[in-house]
Structure 1
Amino acid sequence: MRVLCTYDRVVTTPTERIAVAFGALLLRGNRAHLYDRLTADVDGVDSTTYPVLSGLARTGPTTASRLADLVGLDRTVTTRYASRLEKAGLVARAADADDRRATRLSLTDEGRRAVAALRAGLEAILAEALETSSPEEVEVFARMLERLRDALLPG
């Protein structure tokens, strides 16, 4: 068994080990590293704009304010990144029918192709990371991760 150490204690129980690993994956620097790998071959997207494009792909057309809440960025930052994605031809803006002060963001056809490439890249990275695991282990891990997601996410 691999024993992990944090800055203040030794971690040995399965729950502690999961918490440490999960926390490490969530660190901004580690996410940025993953985003850099994902976006390296996708034109118009980088590690800063990736969360906006990915979030928009998950929500469908929405306002910058709603998207900012989803991806955990300030609205002005989200708007700035959406402008960069729009300039790259990946995002389109239109008046919001529900709120005339708001602008609705949506993916363009090129944006949908970029998202498909990013998702394929993520699957390749995960397949590489899991290549020493058996298909059965990967299936169990997938089910456990889905249950964890369902238990931790709202609604």
Structure 2
Amino acid sequence: MSHQGPGAHVADAIAELLRRRTREGIYAELTEGLDPAVDTTTYPVLSALGRFGPRSAAALAAEIGLDRSVTSRHATRLEQAGLVRRAPDPDDARATLLSLTEPGQRAVDVMRDRLARRFDQHLAAWPESEAQAFAAALTRFVREEPFG
């Protein structure tokens, strides 16, 4: 017997959002017209640096769920485009930290604005009170870290 409560509906909705095809479609929309180095493959690296701040390639890879070598390769591409920089880690002389440059931060700001506008457009069809309640409930759900 399968579970049919609200948890099952949430699980189905999150699974749909996490589908590779869904993510890639969203990433393509968010990165359109930006620097050629910013695309569906490099989006997670750039976005995560914007969200979490400077990180080593290994720590960033753990945050975004990619292999460290893949993360490093994407970071190199973004570095060559002037969007990411590498600097010595002040806490570990053997490590290098990746961080956003000013153009990298501007690209992240554009992508975040596009994503917020996309959600606003979708939620515009909802009654304002439902849209606000959904945003509050989703924020609460995520911040309670059910799997943290």
Taking structure 2 as the reference length, the TM-score comes to 0.90
1:128 aligns to 2:117 (yes or no) = no
Using the TM superposition, give the Cα deviation of residue 11 of structure 1 relative to its aligned residue in structure 2, in angstroms: 8.8
Distance across 1 between alignment mates of 2:86 and 2:108: 17
Using the TM superposition, give the Cα deviation of residue 148 of structure 1 relative to its aligned residue in structure 2, in angstroms: 1.1
Contact 1:90 1:109 in 2 (8 A): yes
Distance across 2 between alignment mates of 1:137 and 1:64: 40
In the alignment of these two chains, the number of paired residues is 147
Using the TM superposition, give the Cα deviation of residue 23 of structure 1 relative to its aligned residue in structure 2, in angstroms: 0.9
1:38 aligns to 2:30 (yes or no) = yes
**2:41 match: secondary structure:** coil
The one-letter amino acid paired with 2:120 is A
**Number of the residue aligned with 1:16:** 8
What are structure 2's unaligned runs of at least 5 residues? none
The one-letter amino acid paired with 2:103 is E
- For residues 96-146 of structure 1, give each alpha carbon's deviation from its aligned partner in whole angstroms, at most 9, with x where no partner exists: 122222111110000110010000110111112112112211110011101
1:76 aligns to 2:94 (yes or no) = no
Q: Identity of counterpart residues, as a percentage?
A: 46
Alignment CA distance shift 1:112-1:148 (3 Å) = same
Q: CA RMSD in A?
A: 1.9
**1:149 match: secondary structure:** helix
Taking structure 1 as the reference length, the TM-score comes to 0.87
Distance across 2 between alignment mates of 1:144 and 1:87: 40
Distance across 1 between alignment mates of 2:79 and 2:146: 30
Distance across 1 between alignment mates of 2:81 and 2:2: 47
**1:102 match: secondary structure:** strand
Contact 1:42 1:118 in 2 (8 A): no
- For residues 46-91 of structure 1, give each alpha carbon's deviation from its aligned partner in whole angstroms, at most 9, with x where no partner exists: 0110000111111111111111111111110000000011111110
What are structure 1's unaligned runs of at least 5 residues? 1-8
